[in-house]
């Protein structure tokens, strides 16, 4: 089960707490929150404000930031971005991590890359978007962090677009819950993508 499927499975509990079973309060998770989706209020928290390593849930902010840029007219879903050798090595098959299966010099569109990020949790797709938008993944992560702070997600410090291990790469569970709420509220046109369970690129 991908990180996105796990997130969707938890959505009814996190976003509609009135229907959540009581046993969720006894969760063994180190970090957890129950949020009222309508108001954004945190109704229950276990280390919810403590910065943690978000791993692939970083991709929630990567996608949100790209949605922002599309909304602002900075890029379009049809724009093409070139797969660099570095993106392939660090996020593609050679990396041994979750990948969309891109190859060097391919030119996927922003829409295809977003599907790769959201459905396949593709690290290569994240890096290609980062390089295509900001010139480097480091610059993209800085811009993404600044945007998160503008949204009120004050615990955020991102050093990459993928969630792969990086020193100081953190966010709190409460801020992740708020980011999920903002994604649903501000970009409902993309929400169905999070319900898709498969996407094929180049036969992969």
Q: Which residue ranges make up each domain of the chain?
A: 3-194
Q: Looking at 2, 45, 46, 59, which residue is catalytic?
A: 59
Percent of the chain whose pLDDT exceeds 70? 87
Q: Looking at 2, 84, 105, 121, which residue is catalytic?
A: 121
Percent of the chain whose pLDDT exceeds 90? 83
Q: Which residues pair with 44 in a beta bridge?
A: 34
Q: Exposed, middle or buried, 24 (CB in 10 Å: 0-12/13-18/19+)? A: middle
Residue 121 annotated among the catalytic residues of the structure: yes
Q: How confident is the model at residue 203 (pLDDT cuts 50, 70, 90)?
A: confident
pLDDT in tens, 163-175: 999 999 999 999 9
Q: Looking at 2, 45, 46, 56, which residue is catalytic?
A: 56
- DSSP codes, 102-162: --TT---BHHHHHHHHHTT--HHHHHHHHHHHHSSHHHHHHHHHHHHHHTT-TT-B-S-SS
Predicted pLDDT of residue 9:
43
Residue pair 95/198 in contact (Cβ under 8 Å)? The answer is: no
Predicted pLDDT of residue 22:
44
Cα distances from 109 to residues 53, 59, 73, 170, 185, in angstroms, run: 29, 18, 15, 29, 25
pLDDT in tens, 47-63: 999 999 999 999 999 99
pTM for this prediction: 0.88
Q: How confident is the model at residue 28 (pLDDT cuts 50, 70, 90)?
A: confident
**CATH (residue range 3-194):** 3.40.710.10
């Amino acid at each position: 089960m991908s990180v996105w499927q796990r997130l969707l499975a938890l959505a009814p509990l996190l976003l509609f707490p009135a229907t959540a079973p009581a046993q969720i309060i006894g969760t063994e998770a180190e970090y957890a929150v129950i949020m009222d989706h309508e108001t954004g209020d945190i109704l229950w928290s276990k280390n919810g404000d403590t910065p943690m390593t978000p791993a692939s849930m970083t991709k929630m902010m990567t996608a949100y930031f790209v949605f922002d840029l599309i909304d602002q007219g900075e890029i379009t879903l049809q724009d093409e971005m070139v797969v660099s050798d570095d993106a392939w090595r660090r996020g593609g098959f050679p990396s041994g991590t979750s990948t969309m299966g891109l190859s060097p010099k391919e030119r996927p569109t922003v829409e295809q890359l977003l599907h790769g990020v959201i459905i396949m949790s593709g690290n290569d797709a994240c890096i290609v978007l980062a390089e295509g938008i900001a010139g480097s993944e480091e610059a993209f992560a800085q811009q993404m962090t600044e945007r998160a702070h503008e949204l009120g997600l004050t615990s955020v410090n991102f050093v990459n677009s993928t969630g792969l291990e990086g020193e100081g790469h953190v966010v709190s569970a409460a801020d992740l819950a708020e980011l999920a709420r903002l994604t649903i509220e501000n970009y409902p046109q993309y929400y169905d993508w999070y319900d898709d369970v498969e996407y094929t690129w180049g036969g992969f």
